[in-house]
Chains A and B, each alone.
Chain A
Amino acid sequence: MADKPRSFQEIILRLQTYWASKGCAILQPYDMEVGAGTFHPATTLRALGSKPWAAAYVQPSRRPTDGRYGENPNRLQHYYQYQVLIKPSPPDMQDLYLGSLEAIGIDATLHDIRFVEDDWESPTLGAWGLGWEVWCDGMEVSQFTYFQQVGGHDCKPVSGELTYGLERLAMYVLGVDHVMDMPFNDPQTPIPLTYGDIFKQTEQEYSRWNFDVADTAVLLQHFVDAEAECQRILDAPATDPKTGAKIIMVHPAYDQCIKASHVFNLLDARGVISVTERQAYIGRVRALAKACADAFVQTEAGGAAA
């Protein structure tokens, strides 16, 4: 039986160690605001094209509408996802995943682990896949998806994607009822810190800003600017006039797509987007994601001949 981790960070560290031992490149979080680990180019873009890929990383994620001023035991506007992407999906992907649960102290002989149908779709990324939400004793602990399409492109080969909601998973493993009470580092250390010590105040600050203070006029302008810049970057000729090399600037363009997406989420939290406009905004972000996907498959990393 696996020994129990004692803190949030130990769970993260064990996942890192486990997936490293399975051959994944352990990447660092993407340095931009995203709604989910899927937005990291290591997932969105690398799921495209024919080149094999195996990466795992923690991704801080922001969902402004989920802010509850740090009061709700389970909801946060800023939280962590653990993301694994392996392409092509190996035949033992399920077993690899179950191994990761064991690594963080979930003993499969004592728990009830189930794969319950859950089709994944991201309208903003123009992506979908089939898979499950994984239940442990009735609680959803991960999303497990075989990517079929990203940015409107068929995924060939197919990537297997795992997403762990780290706070929820850790709360379960550590037996904590309120996220703010969860030990972040080892509770036996001289300076023990809880999740709340680190994030309670920021949740309050961001909740207030997200819901009531963020300047919507400025945000609307940011959206338009990001959209325009993304298109401008992709419209630039592939050949760099200075070096004479073919340099398609997919990642800079994709950054703008990420930015537009996050600005949209902020606007949504401010309640200034009506139901109909919502669809239109999502469509605009999707158009950017699709344009980036189209460009990525023209690059070497995207599998195009160098």
Chain B
Amino acid sequence: MPDLLIELFSEEIPARMQTRAADDLRKLVTDGLVEAGLTYAGAAAFSTPRRLTLSIEGLTAESKAVREERKGPKVGAPDQAIEGFLRGAGVAREDLEVRDDKKGQTYFAVIEKPGRMAADIIAEVLENTVRNFPWPKSMRWGDGPLKWVRPLHSILCILSDEAGAQIVPLDVDGITSGNTTRGHRFLSPDAFTVTNFDDYEAKLKRANVVLRADERAEAIWHDATHQAFALGLEVVEDRGLLAEVAGLVEWPVVLLGRIDDAFLGLPPEVLQTSMKEHQKFFSVRNPKTGRIERFVTVANMETADNGATILAGNQKVLSARLSDAKFFWENDLRTVERQGMKAWTDQLANVTFHAKIGNKLGSQAERIERIASLSREIAPHVGAKPDLAEEAARIAKADLASEMVYEFPELQGLMGRYYAQAAGHDDGVPAACEEHYSPLGPSDDVPTGPVSVAVALADKIDTLSIFWAIDEKPTGSKDPFALRRAALGVIRLVVENRTALSIDEIINAWWKKHMSALNECYNFFVLDRPEERENEYGLDKVRVNHGMFSAFPDVDGGNEFSVLCVQTPDADKFIAENSYSLTFVKDGERVIDATQRILPSYWKADLLSFFHDRLKVFLKDKGIRHDIIDACIAMPGNDDLTLLVKRAEALAETLATDDGENLIQGFKRANNILTQAEEKDGVEYSFGADVKFAEDAAEKALFAALDAADAKIAPAMEAEDFSTAMHAMAALRAPIDAFFTDVQVNADSEILRRNRLNLLSRIRNICLSVADLTKIEG
């Protein structure tokens, strides 16, 4: 059976796309071949900067002939139906057979598909693949319509067996297939022919191309670590960079270079970032000092001077970049020494954080002010000193105005830590400058230092609150301000540090503090339930150009206010620009109707439910079912996320036991009987079950069990020891089961019946005190 070799040779393919593209090539071609009736023994795909290669072994030489019969409409059916059938089957009318069927004479189409030669199928499949390749971004070139990631130059496509190799003829917009390829762009530019995959790979290597990306990566790593080792140094591992660099070269040549002594005083992270981001260099560290002293660059070229010119060039470029970095670093340090971090915090006053929020709340300085006060608020809950938390919050973003971060934005936070240290801050404050951005994702480390936690929480809660207040919530796949990530950050900070914190209380504090500022920068009214308000108060009371409470001075005691209103010179323009639909009343006349509502209570509830949604995702990843989370969210105190998670974990654990699972059934049964009886009788059976009316042993035992459970559960719940409470609850399983087996609830005696229903309500109450088990599925 023949082997197939395909190579698509193009101009340089972006490194980040190569691996995926090789996979796609393998999948598209093999799927196409199989669909057309061929089989194969194995397939492997490869990529270099200039080629995608696919090798398929043991391909069948031709597809089998296929005969297919299709039943059509009855003879005498409308022409339309027959035409449709002909189109679908791809046959002509005269080719139809008429056969006797159960329902009478019926048309049958017999479709004969002859077997096809592998080469024909390959040509078709490959052309299709090239024309429809799923590049993340593709382009046209010259005057053709063909699209590829960069101009496609040649297609190698051969079938080979013992008898030799044969070109699979193929023409895609003038690119005809052949049996030749080229080697390295500079070292071996000439074309050569190949006969099969082994020949191809060997000849490529002679032509200075290592076909396999993992082989290139391995060679790079091997050479780099050996060269470093010889100097008593070690290469800083970076898998991502290694993969990228392996995609930038066909013939890796590792060169170890020196970093000028003048730059060794820079923070190692600055060296690493600058070298990696801009130059794709690996950092080489002195294990004794931890300092970055050398770099490794990977060239795609062997030269007569053994890379001396290349290395000198790279060193020069690096020096230019590091001179910049050093200049910024020294300037920044001078600034900090002279004025502390204040120089920069002042500058941030002029920087816009988000324009829609307005000048008042939208500047970085205002934002920092808010985060500082919120950090104070949160500090006691996370074991931080309020003064330190505030101090850290005030300088945590100062480095955004430093020269270094302006030039290297990816160093934000880290530079903050260095500069805060230099400015004499201590006691966890410098660490908070770096860590308050964390965690940045689901796998990022969560800070544990109390000051860091306080500021990190304040930063994220402020961001969420302000965007909720202006109704810039994430929708669908759109989350431009990474609010989902911020909410997940809050969850992980709280839960992983086992912090007891009422999110509701914190948001309340935020809101109370900033409502008047929001009022000032919002030139509009926001009405809750406008229709009701209209009836209740009459919208004529609302005036443009009034302060916040003047419209409804008597509403909700001033804390929960229903109207947010401020001055606007031009209501129509504002609405047009902000796409809110609101009610404005001028001089007693309603001018625009309101439909949009952002009342604090609504707004807060919405933000809290956003947290709950993110928590569900977070817990689902930890294997906790969504109905378990729902059962816990339905309980009071659900804005304390740590509590909520503890409850959910305990419930999940309980439900995983045999007792727990069966208890749910018992609970549901009790609840159903009770609900039906309550509906029928029109009363609520809530208390008054008395053991003196208990007749049956199982009934008496249940009384005793419930008493015992009560005695355990109440104090455990008090102590938030959900595990104990739920174990006690699960222990009810046996007595409940026995009760239902032995006792008839709907007894003839009304006294007994009522007593038993009241007994069931004790089951319900006990269970519901732990979690809302009605939400549990199954």
The yes or no answer to A108 lying at the interface (CB within 8 A) is yes
The yes or no answer to B314 lying at the interface (CB within 8 A) is yes
* Contact status B317-A139, CB under 8 Å: yes
Give the shortest distance, in Å, between A111 (CB) and chain B (any CB). 6
The yes or no answer to A241 lying at the interface (CB within 8 A) is no
Give the shortest distance, in Å, between A52 (CB) and chain B (any CB). 9
* Contact status B248-A138, CB under 8 Å: no
The proximity string for B residues 123-167 relative to A, scoring 1 for CB distances below 8 Å and 0 otherwise, is 000000000000001111111000001110100000000000000
The yes or no answer to A156 lying at the interface (CB within 8 A) is yes
Per the bound structure, the CA–CA distance linking A119 and B186 in Å amounts to: 24
Give the shortest distance, in Å, between A83 (CB) and chain B (any CB). 19
Which of A129, A138, A275 has a CB less than 8 Å from the CB of B355? A275
Classify chain B's interface size: 35 or more
Contacts of A188 in B (CB 8 A): none
The yes or no answer to B746 lying at the interface (CB within 8 A) is no
* Contact status A137-B310, CB under 8 Å: yes
Whether A108 contacts B186 in the complex (CB less than 8 A), given A158-B139, A274-B352, comes out as: yes
Per the bound structure, the CA–CA distance linking A73 and B317 in Å amounts to: 12
Which of A90, A109, A148 has a CB less than 8 Å from the CB of B186? A109
Give the shortest distance, in Å, between A148 (CB) and chain B (any CB). 6
Contacts of B355 in A (CB 8 A): 274-276
Give the shortest distance, in Å, between A210 (CB) and chain B (any CB). 18
The proximity string for A residues 271-290 relative to B, scoring 1 for CB distances below 8 Å and 0 otherwise, is 00011100000000000000
Which of A110, A137, A157 has a CB less than 8 Å from the CB of B142? A157
* Contact status A74-B142, CB under 8 Å: no
Return the chain B residue nearest A138 by Cβ. B314
The proximity string for A residues 248-288 relative to B, scoring 1 for CB distances below 8 Å and 0 otherwise, is 00000000000000000000000000111000000000000
Per the bound structure, the CA–CA distance linking A152 and B115 in Å amounts to: 48
The yes or no answer to B279 lying at the interface (CB within 8 A) is yes
Residue with the highest number of chain B CB atoms closer than 10 Å, among A109, A112, A131, A172: A112
The yes or no answer to B226 lying at the interface (CB within 8 A) is no
The proximity string for B residues 299-327 relative to A, scoring 1 for CB distances below 8 Å and 0 otherwise, is 11101110101101110111010010000
Per the bound structure, the CA–CA distance linking A73 and B316 in Å amounts to: 13
Per the bound structure, the CA–CA distance linking A91 and B11 in Å amounts to: 10
Contacts of A139 in B (CB 8 A): 313, 316-317
The proximity string for A residues 121-140 relative to B, scoring 1 for CB distances below 8 Å and 0 otherwise, is 00000000111100011110
Contacts of A89 in B (CB 8 A): 141-142, 151
* Contact status A137-B151, CB under 8 Å: no
The yes or no answer to B743 lying at the interface (CB within 8 A) is no
Give the shortest distance, in Å, between A156 (CB) and chain B (any CB). 7
Residue with the highest number of chain B CB atoms closer than 10 Å, among A116, A117, A136, A139: A117
The yes or no answer to B55 lying at the interface (CB within 8 A) is no
Contacts of B310 in A (CB 8 A): 110-112, 137
The yes or no answer to B290 lying at the interface (CB within 8 A) is no
The yes or no answer to A239 lying at the interface (CB within 8 A) is no
The yes or no answer to A69 lying at the interface (CB within 8 A) is no
Contacts of A157 in B (CB 8 A): 142-143
Give the shortest distance, in Å, between B120 (CB) and chain A (any CB). 29
User: Total A-B residue pairs with C-beta atoms closer than 8 Å?
Assistant: 104
Per the bound structure, the CA–CA distance linking A140 and B304 in Å amounts to: 23
Give the shortest distance, in Å, between A132 (CB) and chain B (any CB). 6
* Contact status B309-A114, CB under 8 Å: no
The yes or no answer to A182 lying at the interface (CB within 8 A) is no
The yes or no answer to B411 lying at the interface (CB within 8 A) is no
* Contact status B142-A158, CB under 8 Å: yes
Per the bound structure, the CA–CA distance linking A27 and B16 in Å amounts to: 38
Whether A112 contacts B299 in the complex (CB less than 8 A), given A89-B141, A138-B317, A276-B352, comes out as: yes
Contacts of A148 in B (CB 8 A): 139-140
* Contact status B297-A138, CB under 8 Å: yes
Contacts of B138 in A (CB 8 A): 130
Which of A73, A274, A276 has a CB less than 8 Å from the CB of B320? A73
* Contact status A137-B317, CB under 8 Å: yes
Give the shortest distance, in Å, between B148 (CB) and chain A (any CB). 10
Which of B141, B300, B312, B318 has a CB less than 8 Å from the CB of A114? B300
Residue with the highest number of chain B CB atoms closer than 10 Å, among A94, A131, A138: A138
* Contact status A112-B141, CB under 8 Å: no
Give the shortest distance, in Å, between A262 (CB) and chain B (any CB). 24
The yes or no answer to A146 lying at the interface (CB within 8 A) is yes
Per the bound structure, the CA–CA distance linking A156 and B147 in Å amounts to: 13
The yes or no answer to A99 lying at the interface (CB within 8 A) is no
Residue with the highest number of chain A CB atoms closer than 10 Å, among B139, B153, B305: B139
Whether A116 contacts B248 in the complex (CB less than 8 A), given A91-B153, A109-B303, A274-B355, comes out as: yes
Query: Considering the complex, which residues of chain B in the window 1-32 have a beta carbon less than 8 Å from any beta carbon of chain A?
Result: 11-12, 14-16
Which of A91, A109, A172, A276 has a CB less than 8 Å from the CB of B151? A91
Contacts of B305 in A (CB 8 A): 110
* Contact status B297-A146, CB under 8 Å: no
* Contact status B12-A132, CB under 8 Å: yes
Residue with the highest number of chain A CB atoms closer than 10 Å, among B137, B149, B318: B137
* Contact status A113-B352, CB under 8 Å: no
Query: Considering the complex, which residues of chain A in the window 141-163 have a beta carbon less than 8 Å from any beta carbon of chain B?
Result: 146, 148, 155-158, 160
* Contact status A113-B313, CB under 8 Å: no
Which of B16, B313, B323 has a CB less than 8 Å from the CB of A172? B313
Per the bound structure, the CA–CA distance linking A223 and B141 in Å amounts to: 36
The yes or no answer to A196 lying at the interface (CB within 8 A) is no
Which of A73, A91, A136, A146 has a CB less than 8 Å from the CB of B313? A136
Return the chain A residue nearest B298 by Cβ. A112
Contacts of B301 in A (CB 8 A): 111-113
Give the shortest distance, in Å, between A240 (CB) and chain B (any CB). 33
* Contact status B309-A94, CB under 8 Å: no
* Contact status A129-B299, CB under 8 Å: no
Residue with the highest number of chain A CB atoms closer than 10 Å, among B16, B141, B309, B310: B141
Whether A158 contacts B140 in the complex (CB less than 8 A), given A137-B309, A138-B279, A172-B313, comes out as: yes
- 20 sampled A-B residue pairs with Cβ under 8 A: A74-B320, A88-B143, A89-B151, A93-B151, A109-B304, A111-B310, A112-B299, A112-B300, A112-B307, A117-B14, A117-B16, A130-B137, A137-B317, A146-B151, A155-B140, A156-B140, A158-B140, A158-B141, A172-B316, A274-B355
Chain A interface (Cβ < 8 Å from any Cβ of B): 73-74, 88-91, 93-94, 108-117, 119, 129-132, 136-139, 146, 148, 155-158, 160, 172, 177, 274-276
- With A117-B12, A172-B316 given, name 17 new contacts (CB 8 A): A74-B320, A89-B151, A108-B186, A110-B310, A111-B301, A112-B299, A112-B307, A112-B310, A114-B248, A137-B310, A137-B313, A137-B314, A138-B313, A138-B317, A146-B140, A155-B140, A158-B141
Chain B interface (Cβ < 8 Å from any Cβ of A): 11-12, 14-16, 49, 137-143, 149-151, 153, 186, 248-249, 279, 297, 299-301, 303-305, 307, 309-310, 312-314, 316-318, 320, 323, 352, 355
Question: Which 10 residue pairs are nearest across A and B when measured between Cβ atoms?
Answer: A137-B313, A117-B14, A157-B143, A276-B355, A115-B12, A138-B314, A112-B299, A88-B143, A130-B139, A88-B142
